[in-house]
Structure 1
Amino acid sequence: MECHFVAILLLVVSVFTDGSDTNKRFDIAFRNFLKDHGYRGGAVAAMKQGRLIHTKGYGVDEEGHQIEDTTLFPASSASKSITAVAILTLVQDGTLDLKSKVFGHAGILHMLKPLTKNSPDPRLHDITVDHLLHHSAGWDLNKGPLYDPMLNEVYIKRGNDVPDIKKIMDSESPVSYFDTIRYVMSQKLYFTPGTRTVYSNLGYTILGRIIEEVSDTSYEDYVKRHVIKPCGMWHTRIGRWGKNGVLKLDNHSSRMSNSLSHQLAFSIYEALHPDIIDSTLGWYTTVFDMMRFIKCINPKNGRGILLEEYKWHLSSREPAAPVQHSENWFGAGFRANTKGVLWQDGDPHADDMILFHHSVTSEMPDSWIFFLKGRGLKHLKHASHELMELMETGGIYNDFIRDMSDMQQLGHDGENVMIKFAVDEHHLDAFVNAFKREHYDIRWISAYSLNRHRTHFTIIAEEVSSSTSKDFVLEHGLSEKKLFSRKLELESDGYNMTFLQNYKSASHDFTYVFLAIFRKHGYAQTTQMKFGIHHYPRPYDKLLGLYTEKAFFPTVQSYIKHNYEGKISFIFVKEIRPQKIRFKTYHGLSEKKLGKVVKMNARFGRKLTYIDASTAEKTSSFSVVFSTEQPAVWLFKLGLTKDEVTRLILDKQADGLMPNRIVAYTNKQKQLKFALYLEKRKN
């Protein structure tokens, strides 16, 4: 159904593709670099002053699949960087002290006892959180007989002559990190804590347990809540799972040395369970998210997740004398040097990678990430710097937007809108924070579930200036009780609930929960708002009639059909206006009936202001609101595929029609379809 006027308007619509042509010199040099050093492939991203200027994937992975810039890679030792930032958030909020002792009666992990009754090394009780962060706790993975205790099961399987921790501790496989830690507690330290620094997977494994003990939640949950989600790292997760719940692993040739810890002819990810290496090597991520991480701890404008007084720890030196006279040292979760550079490279048993950030003013990028397939290059930091000198840093394009969008539409008046068709509910919080950090706001959001597998959200977001944007909080997966409590909590901080949707959530065993958006000062002081949940249709219609007489109008009319009965959750708003808004509402409509209703309201000059779709009992039902508010030229289409939505937006660009509402639903053939509403407001 169409109702629109043709107008001459220049619009640009982007269906995103790789934009690497602007960096041909770098592209050629990087391909030669991969070939010269025997890498099968890799992915790279570069950032300049908070803008992602280049991302691209090259070559193939170990299974022969083409590597894209969206490919998930093991974060390797960048997992330690994530863990270090999580530790510092605990320090920042006063929950943890870096000087706190780790072991012993007064230690954070006082419940962990060594295998023997008395520790053979009293220096164990001197280890602090800060020692663990700086790899200076006293362990040396280059020395036997234990070497790297986190690889003990790998050594045993390969027939190496090392103590068998699993057998000694009478443990199951995989050996828990608690059993590994308790065994190591029974062994003599290689040096006094704080006097030397030696790379340690064990130390960062222990930091993960400290996070759990202090925060009273799992390591993964804490890091997601306080690092991953706030930084918008919506791709990042622990492990990359394959068949039968086994971690999908890599298998490559190894970097060799005289040390047993460097003689493993395969990747560390080949044999270790992600739960065992979570806080030291366990995260999987993309080049996009690694740049978001750097941006989050080194923001160009605004506040990062760490205040300056805590962020400096990332580059701080261990006060040990040998380190004080070195140009390079282990900071907290990063390597650092006297030139103001922070970097992290790969674990010796994992593929090569380099995460780099510097604060020196120059024409080259200030941050970059290389994830590579293969390993063996000793001076990757230097090589990456030489390659980045070829990178063009001009222009205004921002690859962060491409990562968040399936398509983007830009009008001549500066209106910039992007669409994402499917965001998994597990990643929604991080995704929303990702586009908030790029100064985008939600224009529309709608949940859907297909074939009882997963719940996704379709999102339309629009670019806003920092001067006109209003902060908002999005909450999802809310029970009735939690919805009411969050509304009260946020109202006390000046936030108003402006959007509500009742939807079926895969994360909550496909029960119905709520999504709500709360905006800072979302309503004028003179505006009145009423809301309700789970009203049956007839009582709802009577209630709507009563509030209509008082000049309220519905901005939300979320409809679900459960056990063959409809239920409606709503928001009514009353504003001071020179003219009363006239509207019509409908709920429980079939796809066919909705098409007729749209045509009828178009004839009466009303536009669509709200739409919701609920799929239950093998059919979809719709709820819609039409009004005379801000008359507009508009177009509405049902039964579209994702590709058809994209083509329709492209086809109507000359008319100045912008995507305004979109909902996903299943038709009678159980196919996923979209209903799309485009609008061009009259001046």
Structure 2
Amino acid sequence: MDFLPVLLFGCITIAHFGFNAEAAGTKYGEAFKNLITENGYKGGETGVLLGNRLGYVEGYGRTITGHNVYPESLLPASGISKIITALTVLRLIQEGSINPTDKIFGEKGKLPKMTPNPKKITDKRILEITVDDLLRHAGGWDAEISPIGDPVFNEFLVDGNHHLVNISKEMKLKSPLDTFDVISFMASRKLEFMPGTQSSVSNLGYLILGRVIEETTGLPYDVVVKEELLNNCGMWHTRLGPHTHEGRQVYKGRNPREINAELREKHEVIGEYYAYAQTYMVDSCLGWFTNAYDVMRLAQCLDGSADYQLLNDTTIETMIRRPRLDRSGDASWYGAGFKVHQDGAIWVGEEPHAPDAVFLHRNLKRHKPGTVYTSEENEPMSWTLLFEGKPAIDAPLKQLSRAMVEGETQWPKTNAFVNDLHDKLLTIGRTTKLHRLKVEEHRANAYLIALKRADFNVIWLNAYTHAGGTFITTIAEQDPKASRECVAVAGLTREKLVEKKLELEKLGYNMTFFQNYKSFSHRDKFVFLAVFHKGAFRNDSHILYGIQHFDRPYKTLLNLYEEKGYRPLVQSLEYNRDDALLSFILEADSDKEKDQKPLYSSEENLSEARLEKCVRKYAREQKRLIYLDASNHRGKPKFSALFKKTRMTKWLFSQGLTSEDLLITIAEKQKEGYLPSIVIGYSTKRDDLLFATYMEKPL
């Protein structure tokens, strides 16, 4: 047995793990870079889905705000934003909350408050617009011939074109336009065509769908999208814009008219203005920022190739069918959010008022239940190209991208879906562990789903607070079977934790791990993260769960139940002012009811110094660390630890490490055969972020 005392190292620059070196020399990669440089884009990203793996991902160039583009950099989703909105609406249709035939305007419509007074409605056809019409860009508006232009960008467009109707002047507004103004004004205007009879890409239609989502659910648009789509598909990077610069939203809080004047001196095209557009004006039509990883996760989510399908077959049929009154017989048409071809392909292409983006899937119905896709499968089924800036000339991106993909004959064999999930990827023998130090809590559930879809089973999870934020650190092990039978969730209230536990127990899952923590995302409330595994405990096991017990009664209870044969598995510590609260899991087997005290040791309310002494003490007793948690009491870290006497393996423990120190330690000790099994983060009184880790040699 080895013991590693506290380690101190100097700071270093952490290597960037997102770049797929194996893919750098491919024909496709060169063609992608040439497409960017030869057409005058500032930068871009691309990803290609092969089978059920991300076979290729790359970022190149710079963003409009001057940052280098990496594969995980956030770029404007442009028309893919409409996919995000359409799929959220389709989920609500699938759940029965919305009907495609629901009218939008009128007293019985989805948006009665945005319906003008009947005397102000100049085109009664406005009352016939349905949810389905909006999904298929068939609401009756055509921005190319309208005297208003694109109403979503009207405030910008009228500055350079005095022939356009100025919505603000027409409504005699003293404040900048908002979505209510735009929708109400347009509902009183004449349509360009009868709803449902033809399609013309409409930002307004999708802006309205965002409000339909809010009115239907009673929740903000982005919250519903997160719950219905982003979390379910593991899209943990994707967020609403605008672009950020050095951690700040560009032009946040500024008057749009002032912004427009300043931007016209810097940018010649509205596509560059998009980078600074106020989120509330474009949220559900053009507001999302994403990357190649997440768009390809969306592709998996659509066709079910990663053991999950967002929409059932009936809803997919709804998504790809023609507009209700389209009798053209054309080979392609507008489905819900996508352009659809009769051969089964769906795609999204360029936008006139936003940077270019392409998303294409060759056939949604390629995946059949029970089919397993392997990493040997090299047929490109879906791809995306995201660009920054507008090109000098318009290029047929859909056709070019298809030619680029089909011109590649030697795709990499790796699965790049793993690349954005880790700070370190460690392999010893047959064991591969993925380690990530910092995931924002509000992105944690989507991140945990992304881990699951990449066949990684969560073996350690810990929440910590630092600098006004709450973050999650994770250790996961590559195990396709275990990952499919693992559910990990963060940010649960006490009531939601109990509800989730009961729900999953009916499906054969056991809660094997949970932690109580204070969350800045939930206004400093107590919440929980939890991990459930299917069939984790024996049928004859007796499990006791406890939530927020005071420390002294907990010690009495623990002593009592250890004598009855219960062993502690989890002992989470949190402080409510000066009260130490313990949450726990105890397990006992009916055929092994003997005193567990000689085997298990429990410690809580430990300072950093006392924690190190306890580790040394129990090391001498041949007990290994099986659980560790940290809380903050009056600015100082306090620890809770469980130790177990077992067949010994070599292990190491370190605390007081910066993130840079920790990554160095993990990398160095991997060479000696050690892999981390516990990592926790904690803040000091000076608000320094430090980590403690426990590493073992796999048996």
Question: What root-mean-square deviation, in Å, do the aligned CA atoms of Structure 1 and Structure 2 show?
Answer: 2.8
Summarize the Cα distance change of 1:458–1:548 in structure 2 as closer, same or farther, 3 Å threshold.
Answer: same
Gap runs ≥5 in structure 2: 5-14, 367-376
Mapped pair 1:457 → 2:472? yes
**Amino acid in the other structure paired with 1:308:** D
**Amino acid in the other structure paired with 1:284:** F
- 1:579-598 equivalences under 5 Å are 581=596, 582-598=599-615
Mapped pair 1:411 → 2:423? no
Tell me, yes or no, if the aligned pair for 1:154 and 1:271 is still in contact at 8 Å. no
**Amino acid in the other structure paired with 1:605:** Q
Tell me, yes or no, if the aligned pair for 1:631 and 1:681 is still in contact at 8 Å. no
Summarize the Cα distance change of 1:144–1:285 in structure 2 as closer, same or farther, 3 Å threshold.
Answer: same
Distance in 2 (CA, whole Å) between partners of 1:283 and 1:386 is 28
Fraction of identical pairs, as percent: 34
Distance in 2 (CA, whole Å) between partners of 1:668 and 1:151 is 49
The residue number in structure 1 matching 2:640 is 623
Kindly state the Cα deviation for residue 492 of structure 1 after the two structures are TM-superposed. Answer: 4.5
Aligned partner (choices 511, 523, 541) of residue 509 of structure 1: 523
Mapped pair 1:575 → 2:589? yes
Distance in 2 (CA, whole Å) between partners of 1:525 and 1:290 is 42
The residue number in structure 2 matching 1:207 is 209
The residue number in structure 1 matching 2:31 is 29
Tell me, yes or no, if the aligned pair for 2:463 and 2:517 is still in contact at 8 Å. yes
Kindly state the Cα deviation for residue 576 of structure 1 after the two structures are TM-superposed. Answer: 4.5
Aligned partner (choices 119, 143, 161) of residue 145 of structure 2: 143
**Amino acid in the other structure paired with 1:245:** K
The residue number in structure 2 matching 1:245 is 252
The residue number in structure 2 matching 1:83 is 85
Tell me, yes or no, if the aligned pair for 1:364 and 1:389 is still in contact at 8 Å. no
Kindly state the Cα deviation for residue 151 of structure 1 after the two structures are TM-superposed. Answer: 1.7
- 1:254-653 equivalences under 5 Å are 265-269=270-274, 272-321=277-326, 323-324=328-329, 326-359=330-363, 364-375=379-390, 376-391=393-408, 394-413=411-430, 415-451=431-467, 453-466=468-481, 468-469=482-483, 471-576=485-590, 581=596, 582-653=599-670
TM-score w.r.t. the length of structure 2 is 0.88
- Secondary structure, aligned partner of 2:280: coil
Kindly state the Cα deviation for residue 615 of structure 1 after the two structures are TM-superposed. Answer: 2.4
Kindly state the Cα deviation for residue 308 of structure 1 after the two structures are TM-superposed. Answer: 1.5
Tell me, yes or no, if the aligned pair for 1:537 and 1:567 is still in contact at 8 Å. yes
Distance in 2 (CA, whole Å) between partners of 1:31 and 1:395 is 18
Summarize the Cα distance change of 1:166–1:458 in structure 2 as closer, same or farther, 3 Å threshold.
Answer: same
Kindly state the Cα deviation for residue 268 of structure 1 after the two structures are TM-superposed. Answer: 4.9
Kindly state the Cα deviation for residue 630 of structure 1 after the two structures are TM-superposed. Answer: 4.9
Distance in 1 (CA, whole Å) between partners of 2:489 and 2:66 is 40
The residue number in structure 2 matching 1:20 is 21
Distance in 1 (CA, whole Å) between partners of 2:231 and 2:410 is 28
Distance in 1 (CA, whole Å) between partners of 2:270 and 2:115 is 34
Distance in 1 (CA, whole Å) between partners of 2:463 and 2:219 is 28
Distance in 1 (CA, whole Å) between partners of 2:134 and 2:273 is 21
**Amino acid in the other structure paired with 1:534:** Q
Summarize the Cα distance change of 1:173–1:525 in structure 2 as closer, same or farther, 3 Å threshold.
Answer: farther
Distance in 1 (CA, whole Å) between partners of 2:494 and 2:683 is 26
The residue number in structure 1 matching 2:2 is 2
Tell me, yes or no, if the aligned pair for 1:72 and 1:285 is still in contact at 8 Å. yes
C-alpha distance after superposition, 1:230-277 (max 9, x if no partner): 0111111111351563599999999xxxxxxxx955535156321121
Distance in 1 (CA, whole Å) between partners of 2:423 and 2:356 is 31
Tell me, yes or no, if the aligned pair for 2:250 and 2:276 is still in contact at 8 Å. no
Tell me, yes or no, if the aligned pair for 2:565 and 2:593 is still in contact at 8 Å. no
**Amino acid in the other structure paired with 2:231:** K
Q: Which moved more, 1:633-642 or 1:75-84?
A: 633-642
Kindly state the Cα deviation for residue 43 of structure 1 after the two structures are TM-superposed. Answer: 1.2
Summarize the Cα distance change of 1:172–1:81 in structure 2 as closer, same or farther, 3 Å threshold.
Answer: farther
Q: Which moved more, 1:128-137 or 1:673-682?
A: 673-682
Kindly state the Cα deviation for residue 125 of structure 1 after the two structures are TM-superposed. Answer: 2.1
Distance in 2 (CA, whole Å) between partners of 1:593 and 1:520 is 37
- Secondary structure, aligned partner of 1:607: strand
Distance in 2 (CA, whole Å) between partners of 1:280 and 1:677 is 47
Distance in 2 (CA, whole Å) between partners of 1:266 and 1:87 is 27
Tell me, yes or no, if the aligned pair for 1:529 and 1:572 is still in contact at 8 Å. yes
Distance in 2 (CA, whole Å) between partners of 1:160 and 1:78 is 31
Distance in 1 (CA, whole Å) between partners of 2:252 and 2:276 is 13
TM-score w.r.t. the length of structure 1 is 0.90
Distance in 2 (CA, whole Å) between partners of 1:111 and 1:265 is 31
Kindly state the Cα deviation for residue 306 of structure 1 after the two structures are TM-superposed. Answer: 0.2
- Secondary structure, aligned partner of 1:457: strand
- Secondary structure, aligned partner of 2:232: coil
The residue number in structure 1 matching 2:7 is none
The residue number in structure 2 matching 1:65 is 67
Summarize the Cα distance change of 1:166–1:577 in structure 2 as closer, same or farther, 3 Å threshold.
Answer: farther
Summarize the Cα distance change of 1:350–1:396 in structure 2 as closer, same or farther, 3 Å threshold.
Answer: same
Kindly state the Cα deviation for residue 172 of structure 1 after the two structures are TM-superposed. Answer: 5.5
- 1:655-666 equivalences under 5 Å are 655-666=672-683
The residue number in structure 1 matching 2:374 is none
Moved over 6 A (4+): 247-254
Summarize the Cα distance change of 1:403–1:194 in structure 2 as closer, same or farther, 3 Å threshold.
Answer: same
Kindly state the Cα deviation for residue 650 of structure 1 after the two structures are TM-superposed. Answer: 2.6
Kindly state the Cα deviation for residue 351 of structure 1 after the two structures are TM-superposed. Answer: 1.2
Kindly state the Cα deviation for residue 282 of structure 1 after the two structures are TM-superposed. Answer: 0.8
The residue number in structure 2 matching 1:45 is 47
**Amino acid in the other structure paired with 1:352:** D
Kindly state the Cα deviation for residue 578 of structure 1 after the two structures are TM-superposed. Answer: 5.5
Q: Which moved more, 1:536-545 or 1:557-566?
A: 557-566
**Amino acid in the other structure paired with 1:32:** N
- Secondary structure, aligned partner of 1:476: strand
Distance in 1 (CA, whole Å) between partners of 2:306 and 2:499 is 33
Tell me, yes or no, if the aligned pair for 2:452 and 2:483 is still in contact at 8 Å. no
Kindly state the Cα deviation for residue 506 of structure 1 after the two structures are TM-superposed. Answer: 0.8
Kindly state the Cα deviation for residue 305 of structure 1 after the two structures are TM-superposed. Answer: 0.9
- Secondary structure, aligned partner of 2:559: helix
Tell me, yes or no, if the aligned pair for 1:22 and 1:392 is still in contact at 8 Å. no
Distance in 1 (CA, whole Å) between partners of 2:357 and 2:293 is 14
Summarize the Cα distance change of 1:470–1:627 in structure 2 as closer, same or farther, 3 Å threshold.
Answer: farther
**Amino acid in the other structure paired with 1:603:** R
Kindly state the Cα deviation for residue 359 of structure 1 after the two structures are TM-superposed. Answer: 3.0
Tell me, yes or no, if the aligned pair for 1:23 and 1:391 is still in contact at 8 Å. no
Distance in 1 (CA, whole Å) between partners of 2:24 and 2:233 is 27
Distance in 2 (CA, whole Å) between partners of 1:311 and 1:205 is 22
C-alpha distance after superposition, 1:615-665 (max 9, x if no partner): 232221111111124533221112222233223223233443221111112
Q: Which moved more, 1:349-358 or 1:293-302?
A: 293-302
Kindly state the Cα deviation for residue 103 of structure 1 after the two structures are TM-superposed. Answer: 2.0
Distance in 2 (CA, whole Å) between partners of 1:407 and 1:469 is 19
The residue number in structure 2 matching 1:104 is 106
Distance in 1 (CA, whole Å) between partners of 2:351 and 2:533 is 44
Kindly state the Cα deviation for residue 364 of structure 1 after the two structures are TM-superposed. Answer: 4.9
Distance in 2 (CA, whole Å) between partners of 1:300 and 1:270 is 33
**Amino acid in the other structure paired with 1:328:** S
Q: Which moved more, 1:19-28 or 1:635-644?
A: 19-28
- Secondary structure, aligned partner of 1:318: coil
Tell me, yes or no, if the aligned pair for 2:86 and 2:135 is still in contact at 8 Å. yes
**Amino acid in the other structure paired with 2:349:** D
Kindly state the Cα deviation for residue 472 of structure 1 after the two structures are TM-superposed. Answer: 3.9
